[in-house]
Each structure stands twice: as C-alpha cells, then as structure tokens.
Amino acid sequence: MYLVAGLGITGQSVLRYFQAQGEKCFAYDTRSELDVKQLAAQFPAVAFATGHVPTAWVSQFETIVLSPGIAKSEPWVQHLLKLGKQVVGDIELFARAVGKPVIGITGSNGKSSVTTLTGKVLEQAGYQVGVGGNLGEPALDLLMDATEYDVYVLELSSFQLETTYSLQTISSAVLNISEDHMDRYDELEDYIQAKTKLFEHTEWAVLPEGFAEQGVIHHCPVVRFGLSEGFIHSANDYGLLWQNEQAWLAKGQTPLVKVSDMALQGKHHQLNALAMMALCEPFDLPPQVFATVLSEFKGLPHRTQLVVNYRDIEWINDSKGTNVGATLTAIESIGQQAAHRHGKVILLAGGVGKDADFSPLQPPVHQYCRQVILFGRDRQKLAEALPHEAVIQVETLAEAVTKATELAQLHDSVLLSPACASFDQFDNYAQRGQAFETYLRDWILTQEKA
C-alpha cells in the first residue's frame, strides 16, 4: 500500500499509474486549502486527505511516493521514516518498470534544451523516443503511453533524484552545477550529491570540463565536454576544433558539426550541443544527424528567446533563468552579441531568490549592462549584491518593462533573466515570460498607433 504525497502534476501522474496497475493507495497534499473534489471523482477508489496525514492511515501503507516539491527533511516525512516507512519518487517507480534504454540529464542549467536536443537527434536517427520527466510529460505517463518507445530521454531535477535509487541509464550527464535551491539544501555539497546520484547506475557518464567526479564514478567510462582552448586531450573529449579557420564541434580530432551551421549561436548553445553528442555516444550516430538537428533547432520558449527586434533594440525572454548561474550565462552570451552591435544590456531581474548568493553577477553586470532593473520580492537582496549606480528598483515586472522602454538605447538588448524563481508574482516561469511578452507587445502597439 502506498501514500501518494503531493497532488500536483507529478502526484497526479502517480495516481494514474497506480490506477492503471490496479495498485491501492492513499492520496495526500500538505495544502489544507486544496480542493480535491475533482481528483476524488477521477480516482474513486482512492481516499484523499489534505493538511495532515490521517492517523488511521499510518498503519496501512508501507511506502510514501513523495512529489519533488516536498523535501524529505519535512518533519512529517522524517516522522514516518522513523516509523519504518520507505520514501520513493515517481522516477523510482519508473525505474522499476521500464524495460528500455534510458538517458538521464540533470544540471543547474541547460537540461531542458539538452534533453530536447537529445530526443530530436535520436528521432532524426529513426528511434521512437519518449522525452519527459521534469520537462513536459511525467515519466510515468510516458510509460503508459500507447507508443512503444525504443528509448527514453529524461530531464531529472535534484529533487527527483533524492528519491531515486535504482534508475539504470545507458548514458547520463550532469551538465553543470551552480548555486541553486539553497532554501532547500543546507550546503552546496548536498545539492551536488543529489545531482550526482544519477551516475550510480549508468553505463556512460558525461561531465563538463573541470567538474570533479566526487568519487561516485568508478564503474563506467567518463567523457567530458568543454569549450576551453586546448581542452581536447583524448579521443573521447567533446570540444571545439579549428580547421581551415572554421570552428567545429568535435569528438577528439574528428570534426562533427560546423559551428556556423548551427541555428543558435553562442557558447552555451555550443556546450548544450556537445553534451548532447556525448550522451548519444552509445548509439553511434552519424555526424549528419547532429548537423541536421542543430541547423534547425531554434531553442525553447523562455530560454534566451528573442521575442522581437524593435527599432534596433532586441527584447529577449529568459524567464527560465531562475538561478544565478543561468542569468550569469545569459548576460555573458547576450552581452557579447550586443557588444558586437555596439550596444549594452538592460537586465530585468528579481523574484524569489531561494537564499542564493548574487555576488557572482557583479562582473558580467559591470562588463555588459547599461542598467539593471530589479523587481519582485527579493529585489533589495539583488540590489545589495550589484553595483549601486547601475540599479533601479521597481515593484512589478510591468513597471520594469516600462522603465526599460525608457532607458534602452540603439543596438541594446533588453534581457529578462530574473536569477530568481517566479512564485511571488507568477505561478511559474512560463507565466512570467508570457507576461513579459504581453507587456512588450502592448507597448509596441501604442508606439505604432502614436
């Protein structure tokens, strides 16, 4: 008997899975205000509770299926653990049932893009690919899909990996680590350990240059990817190779894809592509498959997405930049492009800071930003970490967009990359990104009518 804890997207996928399997369970959510009437109608065999786990249930279930949004450190979870209950997540249930190759991808930033790219490349090569996990369709829904998949490509968060123990992958990557979710982890090392759990049962480990193996990879080959000059030291390294004054994405000394042929330019896009190619190594794909996909892939919404170039000012939506590492990368990438046009960056940032250290943003802000406009709950914490002469504070994103329209100069790039979660003013990063685009469109309409 199971207790499904957390009734968001993941929890509901677990209920669907158990219903299909004929597995009995209880369903619980910590939010006492949550209305579960619709769920109760959808799952009539399941008993629901909110606020507190009913005492009468405790002796009837052995395992808690914990949604990623609930930490194992929660007092009620710890109490149940002391009573001998087990804690698993939806990915652990997936791992116990899946019978096909799995590629696992985690990291602080870039994992959605790399997951999507990996799926597209395998599809281009003729495989039926199930893509999901922390991105798009929940893993258990993929497992119940009518399609007979040849391989699964899963984006996995540190929260999901905390409750995953037996996932076996044909290849896995930790793309990068930057400080994130420090409101949930006591130390950065705890966050790193959660991420690197992905390597425990993998056949092929993919790591960025300079990333310490943390002593967890001793059972499989390790391949690295990076962009530093002279990075390629072995035939298994993925990096940049120069031939005939052209930059190539390469494996060792073998050129694979000409950088100029990629639809997306910028260092972080090159890193994503190299990681994807390394992950696909076990499938022995021809270079043309990579070249085709990379020439067509124009990125995902809300990830350094060019919304419009209006009157020689670029407006860029990077609402998915929810931590310092993501925003740092965005400022550097967009800043270099703006500099080539003799412009600067107007940065829009703010929201829920997750106890992050914002000081690493100082150098790129100083180098590339004309102005920083801060909004949201933790704007003061951001302001304290950044050069004061470059900072303006407003309350809302709408005000930030208005201020940016006043300050942006010819050839500048206005970049929404908040370095924070969105939950103070929006339901999620996508809603925040959509609001940014709406405010911008409304302003452009007023300009066109003037």
Q: Which residue out of 109, 134, 272, 317 is catalytically annotated?
A: 134
Q: Which residue out of 109, 111, 197, 344 is catalytically annotated?
A: 111
Contact (Cβ atoms closer than 8 angstroms) between residue 397 and residue 434? no
> Quick check: is 317 catalytic?
no
Distant-in-sequence, close-in-space partners of 118: CB < 8 Å, separation ≥ 6: 103, 105, 131, 153, 276, 279, 280
In the chain, what's the furthest Cα-to-Cα distance? 73
**DSSP letters along 90-145, please?**
HHHHHHHH--S-EEEEE-SSSHHHHHHHHHHHHHHTT--EEEEESSSB-HHHHHHS
3-state secondary structure at position 348: strand
> Quick check: is 111 catalytic?
yes
Instruction: Please report the beta strands in 187-253, taking only residues with DSSP state E, as ranges in sequence order.
Output: 205-208, 222-225, 238-243, 246-251
The secondary structure element, H or E, covering residue 29 is strand 25-29
Rounded CA separation 354/49 (Å): 29
Burial annotation 163-199 (CB, 10 A radius, 16+ → b, else e): bbbebebbbbbbbbbbbbbbebbeeeeebbbbbbbbb
Rounded CA separation 269/264 (Å): 6
Q: Which residue out of 109, 120, 181, 403 is catalytically annotated?
A: 181
CA distance readout (Å), 392 to 43, 320, 374, 419, 420: 50, 22, 6, 16, 17
Nearest to 365, CA basis, from 313, 421, 327, 337:
327
> Quick check: is 181 catalytic?
yes
Rounded CA separation 221/239 (Å): 17
Which are the catalytic amino acids? Answer: 111, 134, 181
